Amino acid sequence: MSAVTRVALLIGFSIMQAGTLSPDERALAAHVDTHNAESLALLERVVNINSGTQNFDGVREVGRVFAAELERLGFHTQWVDGAAFKRAGHLVADHRRTGPRILLIGHLDTVFEKDSPFQKFERVDDHTARGPGIIDMKGGDVVMIGALKALQLAGVLERMNVIVVMTGDEEDSGEPLSAAREALVTAARGADIAIGFEDGPADPRLAVTARRGTMGWQVRVHGTPAHSSQIFREDIGYGAVYELARILNAFRERLAGEAHLTFNPGVVLGGTTVDFDPVQLRGSAFGKTNVVAEHAVASGDLRALSREQFDRARQTMAEIVAASLSHTSATITFDAGYPPMAPTEGNARLLAMYDQASRDLGLGTVTAVTPDRAGAADVSFVAGDVKTIIDGVGLMGHDDHTTQETADLSTLPSQTKRMAVLLYRIAKSGPPK
């Protein structure tokens, strides 16, 4: 008996022990088990299509695969061309009916481009497989599709008001960002609930109800060049490198330790000349030990849990930059970045509903992961329009964004069942109150 079969039997036994599922919900769970092999085949198929963000043809091909699956379920699909934001585009699929409007969010791209050595689905054992994007997040997309298929078989989907958005540039967002996320933001308008299918903390006992936003920052410094023996003279000052060091240390002294706030200088260059590419985040510097540095640059990220926290941090950082040492000057700029998804009562209620579905299925409790462990994701862009959101409910595993990205295949049917029952209950009873 395979490990997957043993897990399925244990899950089935747990469901019988739980005894709190309706006949329709038991049918949903049984459908997921019966069709798990089909879901695994779909997962292998899409993982084997390279869809690194810059591989536009590959992203579109994965989009076509999922579009066909959704069209068979009665969705009207549309490909939103990404030329305006320099990416492949997005898949939008609408199943407009009456009832609560539910937005389901996935993405088609991965971090593994065509030149990556990591290209194919590889079965490790009965319950484990490796592959590019297998958990981030093609597995989550397959969980979504599997839950919708179960709902169709139960005759529930035909009454549900669902819109699906699978973006093609989640791993490397197009620019301008407003154009790159326009389709997602438009789909969120009027939605009562949004669910993101990222792998989140990669633990089925946890889900995401809050995400910190992220934005990039860059500090550029100019100093007065001179012979090093004259540094600190009143008419020469401290040079660009000391000024940059002052700024970075003041960031640490003023801001480190605030809950949910982090800021990281990822690249630092300084010298007589500096050549820095802010897109590729790489560069070079030239200087001499006996010359006071004229230029310095640092680039990093800033993460916060609310817009207000972002605003306070940016103001503090700007004040620090403006207080220049003698004969130096500095500027700081911030990019648009990903917005935060602050915790809300609606998010907590939806998680409670998801947790109840999990416990009724005999799959254990689900609690909220700390937002400090939840990175930025597309779901944050809809937080301004949708007040009831969860994320991190996709396929689980470990080592995403690495060539060891691995899925725990036993969580494919369990995550799909949880979602099918949750969506069934939303369709039947409405959003959590």
Nearest CA to 183 out of 90, 97, 93 is that of 90
Nearest CA to 184 out of 395, 377, 334, 349 is that of 377
pLDDT in the model for residue 7? 40
pLDDT in the model for residue 201? 87
Binned average pLDDT, 10 residues per bin, the chain of 433 residues: 41 49 96 97 98 97 98 98 98 95 98 96 96 98 98 94 98 94 97 96 94 96 97 97 98 96 96 93 95 98 95 98 97 93 96 98 97 89 95 97 97 98 94 86
Question: What are the backbone dihedrals phi and psi of residue 398, each rounded to the nearest 5 degrees, phi first?
Answer: -160, 165
Structure tokens at 400: 């995403």
**What are the helix (H) ranges across 285-339?**
307-322
pLDDT in the model for residue 13? 42
pLDDT in the model for residue 16? 40
Q: How far apart are CA 374 and CA 413, in angstroms?
A: 23
- Torsion sign across C-alpha atoms 36, 39, 41, 44: negative
Structure tokens at 59: 């992203």
Nearest CA to 162 out of 72, 221, 91, 102 is that of 102
Nearest CA to 37 out of 126, 163, 170 is that of 126
pLDDT in the model for residue 57? 98
Contacts of 93 (CB under 8 A, 6+ apart): 66, 67, 70, 71, 75, 76, 77, 78, 163, 164, 165
Q: How far apart are CA 343 and CA 357, in angstroms?
A: 21
Cβ 79 vs Cβ 61: under 8 Å: no
pLDDT in the model for residue 233? 96
| Residue pointed to by tokens 């959101």 | 389
pLDDT in the model for residue 420? 98
Tell me the whole-structure pTM to 2 decimals: 0.86
pLDDT in the model for residue 268? 98
pLDDT in the model for residue 4? 37
pLDDT in the model for residue 376? 83
Spell out a b/e string for 335-347, using b for 16 or more CB atoms within 10 Å of the CB, else e: eebbbbbbbbebb
Instruction: Report the chain's C-alpha Rg in angstroms.
Output: 25
